[in-house]
């Protein structure tokens, strides 16, 4: 990255019922791997990946939240500061489909209107599907969300999901800058609520795994001291 270029960091939360494939999706996207074992997420987890969009460096911070309700109190606090969201359900889990709207509401209650995408994972198991194509399409239409069918196992459409969210977010901040009417400004490095919440953070790149609390090194270091203002339309 050239000295004068400024990095954009996007906090993305991935939500949905337990075992729909949230952790697997993030692992696939950030590490390029898939594991068959199911290890339930306790609290939250975190991975990141850097991509380039239209010549702009974009750092995606993917927050993997627990699907089990027992962790709601913990995970909700991690929605704060999210700039995009994946709402995931599984092809072979009817309850996960029925719960999509409530996940959307939980996130919106914390962060308002942010770019979201609806994802039907495990499409490789379509022969055992418990949700019709039409009803999934209808839900996407009702919620006015872009809809992707993915197979994390087969690495199908996973990149597209995160690419779409990044595009949406960039378009949003560009519109905002054009209008020059900032509603709320947040600096890179201050978008995270790290206060005393339990959970684990994978020790990727510049991040520190403290075992119980999250510490992120300020992005300022990676932007050579330059800061970018963000403007959100809520
Ligand atoms: N067949 C198939 N299995 C998948 C796919 N994605 C994930 N899985 C499997 O589904 C199980 C649950 O995946 P996880 O990624 O742990 O699910 P999660 O949504 O993070 O679950 P919680 O942590 O409980 O919220 C694991 O056994 C995965 O291997 C997929 O696309 N196809």
* pLDDT given for residue 44 in this prediction: 77
* pLDDT given for residue 206 in this prediction: 33
Residue 211 has pLDDT above 50, yes or no: no
* pLDDT given for residue 43 in this prediction: 72
Residue 102 has pLDDT above 90, yes or no: yes
Q: What count of other Cβ atoms lies within 10 Å of the Cβ of residue 31?
A: 12
The answer to the question of residue 28 being in a domain is yes
The answer to the question of residue 105 being in a domain is yes
Confidence of residue 20 (pLDDT cuts 50, 70, 90): very high
The answer to the question of residue 189 being in a domain is no
- Kindly list the protein residues whose Cβ atom lies closer than 6 A to any atom of ligand 1: 18-24, 35-38, 40-41, 66-68, 121-122, 124-125, 151-153
The answer to the question of residue 118 being in a domain is yes
Ligand 1 atom closest to Cα of 65?
Answer: 25
Q: State the total domains in the chain.
A: 1
* pLDDT given for residue 94 in this prediction: 98
* pLDDT given for residue 226 in this prediction: 37
The answer to the question of residue 190 being in a domain is no
The answer to the question of residue 58 being in a domain is yes
CA of 38 to the centre of ligand 1 (A): 6
**What are the DSSP calls for 92-135, one per residue?**
T-HHHHHTHHHHHHHHHHHH-S--EEEEEE-GGGGGG-SS-HHH
Residue 234 has pLDDT above 70, yes or no: no
List the CATH number of the domain containing 22: 3.40.50.300
The answer to the question of residue 162 being in a domain is yes
Ligand 1 atom closest to Cα of 34?
Answer: 29
Query: What are the respective helix, strand and coil percentages of the chain, to the nearest 5?
Result: 35, 25, 40
* pLDDT given for residue 194 in this prediction: 32
* pLDDT given for residue 2 in this prediction: 52
Residue 13 has pLDDT above 90, yes or no: yes
Nearest to 137 by CA among 105, 102, 97, 108: 97
Question: Domain range spanning residue 131?
Answer: 6-176
pLDDT tens per residue across span 165-202: 999 999 988 887 666 544 443 333 323 333 333 333 33
Mutation choice for ligand 1 from 13, 21, 23, CB with most ligand atoms inside 8 A: 21
Residue 68 has pLDDT above 60, yes or no: yes
CA of 159 to the centre of ligand 1 (A): 17
* ipTM of this predicted structure: 0.99
The tokens for 103 are 């996940």
Ligand 1 atom closest to Cα of 88?
Answer: 19
Ligand 1 atom closest to Cα of 123?
Answer: 31
The answer to the question of residue 59 being in a domain is yes
Range name among 6-10, 99-103, 140-144 with the lowest pLDDT average: 6-10
The chain-wide mean pLDDT, for the chain, equals 78
- Which secondary-structure segment (H or E) carries 77? helix 72-79
Residue nearest to atom 32 of ligand 1 (CA): 122
């Amino acid at each position: 990255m050239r000295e004068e270029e400024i990095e954009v960091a996007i906090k993305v939360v991935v939500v949905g019922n337990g075992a729909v494939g949230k952790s697997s999706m993030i692992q696939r996207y950030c590490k390029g791997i898939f594991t068959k074992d199911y290890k339930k997420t306790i609290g939250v987890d975190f991975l990141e990946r850097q991509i380039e969009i239209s010549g702009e460096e974009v750092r995606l911070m993917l927050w993997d939240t627990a699907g089990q309700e027992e962790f709601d109190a913990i995970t909700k606090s991690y929605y704060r500061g999210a700039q995009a969201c994946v709402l995931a359900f599984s092809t072979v889990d009817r309850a996960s489909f029925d719960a999509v709207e409530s996940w959307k509401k939980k996130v919106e209650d914390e962060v308002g209107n942010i770019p979201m995408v609806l994802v039907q994972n495990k499409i490789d198991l379509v022969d055992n599907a418990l949700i019709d194509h039409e009803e999934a399409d209808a839900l996407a239409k009702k919620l006015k969300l872009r809809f992707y069918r993915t197979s994390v196992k087969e690495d199908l459409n996973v990149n597209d999901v995160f690419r779409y969210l990044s595009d949406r977010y960039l378009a949003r901040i560009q519109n905002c800058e054009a209008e020059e009417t900032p509603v709320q400004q947040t600096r890179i490095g201050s978008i995270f609520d790290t206060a005393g919440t339990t959970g684990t953070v994978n020790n990727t790149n510049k991040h520190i795994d403290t075992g119980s609390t999250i510490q992120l090194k300020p992005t300022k270091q990676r932007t050579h001291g330059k800061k970018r203002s963000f403007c959100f339309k809520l």
